[in-house]
Amino acid sequence: MPKLIKITPFEDQKPGTSGLRKKTRVFMQPHYLEAFVQAIFHAIGGAAGKTFVIGGDGRFYNDRAVQIILRLAAAQGARGAIVGQGGILSTPAASHLIRLNETDGGIILSASHNPGGEDEDFGIKFNMPNGGPAPEAVTEAMFAATKTMTQYTTMDAPDIDLRAIGSTQLGGMTVQIVDPVADYANLMESLFDFPAMRTRFAAGFTMRFDAMCAVTGPYAREILENRLGAAPGTVTHGTPLPDFGGMHPDPNPTWAHELMTEMMGDAAPDFGAASDGDGDRNMVLGAGAYVSPSDSLAVLAANAHLAPGYAKGIAGVARSMPTSAAADRVAHAMGIACYETPTGWKFFGNLLDAGRVTLCGEESFGTGSDHVREKDGLWAVLLWLNILAVRKQSVAEILLDHWHRYGRNYYSRHDFEAIETDKADAMIATLRARLAALPGTKVDGLMIVAADDFAYTDPVDGSASQKQGVRIIFDDGSRIVYRLSGTGTEGATLRVYLERYQPGPDGLQRDPQEALAPIIHAAHQIAQIHAHTGRSQPNVIT
């Protein structure tokens, strides 16, 4: 029997770059999760008669949250729910299930790369029937609904056994518990040359995949070790744990330091990779070689045709504005379209749906294609493996070859985390106020030719997004971008993105921090980072 629960509206349920993220204990407050799920249903015109995919990255509270969502959906007349066994689904696997089963969308529980646990982070987001994150108009409708949400509808029912694969009823709703890995692994097998990759592993090719105790462990084991024959033990930290074993599952050189150390050491495997909490991010490494995410997108765009799923070529490439222009150079050389979008995967959805682009990427270790509507960590790793199997070169050789052909976009992102919010806001406001006066002035001898706040009009549906990052552009094409993170749960995080182009053939193998030193210095000067925030050094550099 449906049961109406009266509540006082929550005022802090504004979705950010990727859904609603808060401390886990915030979500554990009575009615908090329920109120947001009710707002989701409100924003999509109700749950009645609909089918949803439901799952998450297995972090603390994932299992409880799945049960709560199932009860709300059933009480409100949903027709069906497809749930990953144990409540587990990687974000790209959830996107695939939504598309494969043509459902009315999905609810994904994750705070991505943020640490998990009772004292860490939790999150929830809604994906549309195309498998992609809800666009801004929908997330705004959710936020508006939360502000006046005075009741929700649920039901009294015992928990479902999430471990039992098969169908069961919850009220009038059919709950189907599915293997979280199988359909996704089949999709990967349809895109890539598994026989060629198997041959390469059989010939002694070595790899390390660090799943960081997060969701990709079972996916990577099935695909890399079982289907491709990589040596047992190729996948490390392969069991998903509610607190990610205390790891910070963010695949970058800072947080995946164990993998970094191995790949930069004497006995490094041929190829290394890591993924994040919910499996949509990737970091790619070769023996002694680090591939920046912006370069990875460019290399994948230039070589995608080597994989069967992309043999016909790619329609176009899209990258988020702060991502380096390395992919633009490839697109230009190939004569295909290249789009620059605001930060966040939701902005790629329309371009993918319209067939304007095939590959997308962000500097924040996100790469993907039109096979799903999310970025996809293992997909990127497999495309790299496919390219390596065909070209029979090392990662370092492929990178160097790429830079020789296209030049190198030296790139780095400096993050200043946990700044007081009002100080960060004041810094950005001061910067914005000065933008008009900056062009034509010099900083540290560098001439500024343009300064603006990135605005975007979606070429497919015409929707407009303002204030998506402050850009400072110099006369040699070098660039600084400033933005505040939209995914944090504590204070503010300032992200400073730095880029400089080196045409080659010389100077292609410098340390990026050294190659970017003048730009870094100018970035501090222009925004007066220390004066505003008290910080003179970033705490994460990628």
Nearest to ligand G1P of 51, 485 (CB atom)? 485
Smallest distance, ligand G1P to C-beta of residue 366, A: 6
Residues that bind Zn ion (CB under 5 A): 112, 276, 278, 280-281
Active site residue 465: no
**Residue matched to tokens 């970091």:** 283
- Bridge-based pairing state of the strands 470-474 and 464-465: unpaired
Nearest to Zn ion of 270, 278 (CB atom)? 278
How many other CB atoms sit within 10 Å of the CB of residue 400?
A: 17
Determine the residue with CB nearest ligand G1P: 485
Nearest to ligand G1P of 17, 303 (CB atom)? 17
Residue 276 binds: one of Zn ion, ligand G1P, none (C-beta under 5 to 8 A by kind): Zn ion
Residue 252 binds: one of ligand G1P, Zn ion, none (C-beta under 5 to 8 A by kind): none
- Maximum CA extent, the chain: 72
Q: Residue 258 is inside which H or E element, if any?
A: helix 257-264
Residue 364 binds: one of Zn ion, ligand G1P, none (C-beta under 5 to 8 A by kind): ligand G1P
Residue 373 binds: one of ligand G1P, Zn ion, none (C-beta under 5 to 8 A by kind): none
Smallest distance, ligand G1P to C-beta of residue 276, A: 8
Among 18, 110, 112, 478, the one annotated catalytic: 112
Spatial distance between the Cα atoms of 410 and 140, rounded to a whole number of angstroms: 36
**Residue matched to tokens 């303002």:** 466
Nearest to Zn ion of 323, 409 (CB atom)? 323
Residue type, 504: G
DSSP 435: G
Smallest distance, ligand G1P to C-beta of residue 164, A: 32
- Pair 340, 457: CB distance under 8 Å: no
Nearest to ligand G1P of 14, 305 (CB atom)? 14
Cross-strand partners of 5: 152
- Pair 211, 238: CB distance under 8 Å: yes
Nearest to ligand G1P of 103, 487 (CB atom)? 487
Smallest distance, ligand G1P to C-beta of residue 361, A: 10
Spatial distance between the Cα atoms of 48 and 69, rounded to a whole number of angstroms: 14
Residue 278 binds: one of ligand G1P, Zn ion, none (C-beta under 5 to 8 A by kind): Zn ion
- Pair 365, 293: CB distance under 8 Å: yes
Residue 154 binds: one of ligand G1P, Zn ion, none (C-beta under 5 to 8 A by kind): none
Would you list the DSSP string of 177-229? EE-TTHHHHHHHHHHS-HHHHHHHHHTT--EEEE-TTSTHHHHHIIIIIIIS-
Distance set, CA 284 to CA 41, 99, 366, 383, 535 (Å): 38, 27, 11, 11, 30
Nearest to Zn ion of 251, 512 (CB atom)? 251
Distance set, CA 122 to CA 58, 110, 373 (Å): 10, 6, 22
- Pair 223, 201: CB distance under 8 Å: no
Which tokens is 388 given?
């390596």
Smallest distance, ligand G1P to C-beta of residue 411, A: 14
Which tokens is 89 given?
């689904």
Peptide bond into 505 cis (omega under 30): yes
Nearest to ligand G1P of 222, 278 (CB atom)? 278
Smallest distance, ligand G1P to C-beta of residue 431, A: 17
- Pair 213, 241: CB distance under 8 Å: yes
Residues that bind ligand G1P (CB under 6 A): 17-18, 112, 320, 343-345, 362, 364, 366, 485-487, 495
Smallest distance, Zn ion to C-beta of residue 377, A: 8
Smallest distance, ligand G1P to C-beta of residue 106, A: 17
Residue 341 binds: one of ligand G1P, Zn ion, none (C-beta under 5 to 8 A by kind): none
- Within 8 A by CB and 6+ apart from 113, the residues are 248, 249, 250, 251, 255, 276, 277, 281
H-helix segments, 325-480: 326-334, 349-353, 377-391, 395-406, 421-434
- Pair 253, 228: CB distance under 8 Å: no
Enumerate the active-site residues: 112
